[in-house]
Amino acid sequence: MAHASVASLVRTIESLLTSNSPMQSLTCDHSEDLSALHEKISSLEVFLRNFEKNNVSGEMTDLELQVKEVANIVEHTIQVRVTEVLEDDENQREKAQERLSDSLLLVAEDIDRIWKESTKIQNKGKHALKESTAQEFPRSSRNILNVENSMVGRDDQRKRLVQNLTRSYSGEPKVIPIVAMGGIGKTTLANEVYNDACIRSHFDVCAWATVSQQHNVKEILLSLLRSTKGDTFDMNDEAELANMLQKSLKAHDAGTKNLCLQMDLMGPDESWNLFKSVALANEALPSEFETIGKQIADECHGLPLTIAVVAGLLKSKRAIENWKSVEEDVNSFVSNDPDERCSRVVGLSYDHLTSDLKACLLHFGIFPEGSEIPVKNLMRSWMAEGFLKLENDLEREAKKCLQELVDRCLVLVCKKSLDGTKIRSCKVHDLIYGLCLREIRRGNVFIMNDIVLYVADPECLDLSMHKMQPFKRVPGDLIDNPYFGLHRALLTPVHRQLRDHDNNDLLKQTCSIFSFHLNDSRFILKLELIHFKLLKVLVLRHRDIDNFPLQILSLIWLRYLSLVVHGHLLIPPEIFRLWNLQTLVVKEYDPSFVTCPVQIWELVQLRHLKLPRFYLPDRPSVSVDKERDMGFSNLLTTSRLSSCCCMREVIMGIQNVKKLEISGDEDDYESFWESGLVNNLVHLHQLETLSLTGTYILWPRTLPASTPSAKSFPATLKKLNLTSTYLSWSYLDIIAELPNLEVLKLMGFACCGEGEEWHPIVMGFNRLKILLIERSFLKYGKATDDNFPVLERLVLINCKCLKEIPIEFAEIHSLQLIEVDLCLIELGESAARIRQQQQDLGNNPLDVRISHPLLRQNISESAAEVVTKLVGFRESGEHWLIGCQQQFHCSYKSVVLA
């Protein structure tokens, strides 16, 4: 784990040496010492990377341990001393400067000692550091998103389950438990069945819930309600949620008569097929590889997780020595207990990871078991923690790490982007999660514990009564207690070197705080933040935060900050003190607006800025030589920037941004289109994704006569999302000219008017692969391969006026998927006709997915007439209940049929 510690230390020193750092003036007297220290540590980082790559054993372990401990101590010492320099008292600052000088001399001696030791080992063991004779095949060119959590060898069981669930109605609803040991593939099989096209078309409601050992009942109920009703819910009462779910599924009682699937271990052929699909992507290899591969698969004793993890070890290994070595390791795990054998194999895979990958994998252990984790948050916290190798493009390095973990079958992909190019969320298997917890307890990377805010007297809500109880593990039965606030803390493991093991030292060791299950908690970790001087990551999810906690402003080492707020948020001018901040995320609990001070431009390290609709002031006027230090030159993504502030000064300050979301100002609609906003976007030469969001209050106002041209948009634009913009359909002719546009999403009445017809221009959208239209009054649209020559996916959601997809879509040979949700039955039928036409033409099979089909009926029909028709549908075996209920908007609350 030495590499992660050294990488974090290097970044800390670099932040002190950066020319535009607010801390430079405070540390300028020490710049020479810091530069010399930086040079030695950077060389040590390179040495460690090569040492680890060549997999030298013995001395490597001892050296890594020494380097890790020294790096942690050096970073901790520097951060503490620099923090002391910021004290308000001038005499204290002078003394702190002296202590900083002394500390830099001491840590330099430690680094010299380690460097000499590494040089000695390097000279002595050059013969062991020679390049490996292993022939490494080029890494697969597959995109990370093409790695599926797919099921191999269970197709018969999948078909049997689908058949059991969809066979004609027998009078009793069905629950089918899938029973087997851990790691055999129960969840994978259930997921395959859940997403099966037959299941999706057969049932009106499909809901997925994960119940882990330490589960949150309210979150499970909310998840099920969102699946069944498609709405968002804001209520805290668990009983009320349960009652609502019961009503939405009334008479759908569960029966288990004679329905239970007992999964067996895989046979030799199934095991080998799974092994091949992971390790080889079914490529051809010499017979000696196949012989050893089959032996390895056999030694896994038919357990799919074990097979997949071992195969992941060999995914990029194409030297026979590697395969033989793995075979010996797996063969040594002789045990009659399959769970123990699986745990050992998982541990083997973990041991083969590089130190940065180990740190990234263990990070999953801080989240509740079974959590589906947003990838953006995960990767940005990796960057903030300092886990990644020292690369200029940290985002690319984070993606590489995630891809490696997915390739090794240690991380599961949950959700993907619509175009299939990015992972949106992921998680780990519960056996992998157990490994993470075991390794975390060893404290080699970080120490994990809990901080609890509690009140002695639950009847008393006086804040003076509550107390912080740091570093106590919270029992599972107390996690959901409203009188507790659970915060998970990560500490830097430097125990043995600290003189005093009192609570104050532990507070200074805390590098990250994540909050969980805080929606109902009575108390917020706010006043206590002043004690955590060296925090790098802070995630506060408490929804009762109504102002910016001023205590955060003292956390000068903070790199990642995430808050949940309600109401108007005023960011204080002192925000510039957070000069290390890379990611700032503010999520809204209710509609809110954020006002930023001009000093926010001084956060020059900022890479990701995600706020509710916010106003960004013009950059302050500075001299030419300082202008480069007053912009967001590192900013890559920003969302919900108010349209009224998107003038040239602001746009030029974020000109390296790759992803931008702009929200229309409801008080000044014309500025969205006529003030030059869109024309200013041409200065964003790196922009790839643009989202423009209007406001529902404006409807049905129409677009002003003067509109921008295609040249107003950056030529680099690949994705365009329009929401509530109320453009005329003819305006899309301009968008069709964008040369690199691959994804177009038209959501929430993005276009309207002109009889609600769309006639795309010929030879437009030359690179468009994904077209999504959601919540639209569109009645007619026409398209052929001349309009969308490379279209791959057509997604129509809640388009209740559209009766038909033109049959000419069958002429688009690249078309792979048509997805229809909450639309008329006729629309789904036309999609089916296109699929048949594609087959008749001999094209590649077209996937058609239809969900929640709606019936076109007279809105004035009485509830009684509706019920009569629904009974008829039930008797005919049709399942349209939810769709009918949403379409008619009748006075009755619910009509439920078994």
- SS3 string, 840-861, reads HCCCCCCEEEEECCECCCCCCC
Quote the pLDDT of residue 464. 40
Decide if pLDDT at 56 tops 50: no
29 alpha-carbon distance from chain centroid: 42
Higher-pLDDT residue of 33, 884: 33
- Using one digit for the tens of pLDDT, what is the confidence trace for 157-210? 777 788 777 775 555 556 777 766 566 667 778 877 887 777 777 777 777 777
Largest CA distance in the chain: 90
User: Which pair of tokens denotes residue 437?
Assistant: 């917890």
Q: For tokens 């009645």, what's the residue?
A: 779
What is the amino acid identity at position 437?
L
Decide if pLDDT at 793 tops 60: yes
- Cβ(535)–Cβ(554) under 8 Å? no
Quote the pLDDT of residue 854. 82
Quote the pLDDT of residue 547. 84
Average pLDDT over residues 502-513: 76
Average pLDDT over residues 698-725: 74
For the chain, how far is it from start to end, CA to CA, in angstroms?
57
Decide if pLDDT at 217 tops 60: yes
What is the amino acid identity at position 571?
I
Residue 760 CB partners (closer than 8 Å, separation 6+): 732, 733, 736, 781, 782, 783, 787, 788
- Cβ(750)–Cβ(777) under 8 Å? no
Mean model confidence pLDDT for the chain? 76
* CA-wise closest residue to 580 among 620, 624, 634: 634
DSSP bridge partners of 660: 638, 690
169 alpha-carbon distance from chain centroid: 40
Quote the pLDDT of residue 701. 46
- Cβ(498)–Cβ(456) under 8 Å? no
User: Which pair of tokens denotes residue 247?
Assistant: 């009503």
Quote the pLDDT of residue 339. 66
- Using one digit for the tens of pLDDT, what is the confidence trace for 844-879? 789 999 888 887 643 333 333 433 443 343 333 333
Among 39-43, 446-450, 771-775, 856-860, where is mean pLDDT lowest?
A: 856-860
What is the amino acid identity at position 249?
L
* CA-wise closest residue to 636 among 662, 606, 658: 658
Distances in Å between the alpha carbon of 610 and those of 225, 541, 662?
28, 15, 11
Average pLDDT over residues 658-675: 70
Higher-pLDDT residue of 435, 543: 435
Quote the pLDDT of residue 623. 52
Residue 125 CB partners (closer than 8 Å, separation 6+): 56, 59
pLDDT band with cut points at 50, 70 and 90 for residue 888: very low
Enter the DSSP assignment of 620. Answer: P
User: Which pair of tokens denotes residue 329?
Assistant: 């390791």
pLDDT band with cut points at 50, 70 and 90 for residue 35: confident
Average pLDDT over residues 808-826: 91
Give the Cβ contact number of residue 164 at 10 Å. 13
Q: Which helix (H) or strand (E) holds 804?
A: none
Quote the pLDDT of residue 582. 94
- Cβ(200)–Cβ(483) under 8 Å? no
What size, in residues, is the chain?
Answer: 898
Residue 612 CB partners (closer than 8 Å, separation 6+): 565, 569, 586, 587, 588, 591, 592, 593, 594, 640
Task: Please give the sequence-ordered ranges of beta strands (E in DSSP) within 419-575, or none if there are none.
Answer: 423-427, 447-455, 466-470, 485-491, 510-516, 537-545, 560-565, 569-570
Quote the pLDDT of residue 666. 60
Give the Cβ contact number of residue 494 at 10 Å. 22
Residue 751 CB partners (closer than 8 Å, separation 6+): 722, 725, 726, 727, 728, 729, 731, 732, 758, 776, 778
- Cβ(432)–Cβ(187) under 8 Å? no
Q: For tokens 């994705």, what's the residue?
A: 719
Per DSSP bridges, beta strands 412-416 and 423-427 are: antiparallel
Dist CA 402 CA 380 (whole Å): 12
273 alpha-carbon distance from chain centroid: 31
- Using one digit for the tens of pLDDT, what is the confidence trace for 722-747? 998 888 898 899 899 999 999 999 99
Dist CA 30 CA 32 (whole Å): 6
pTM for this one?
0.77
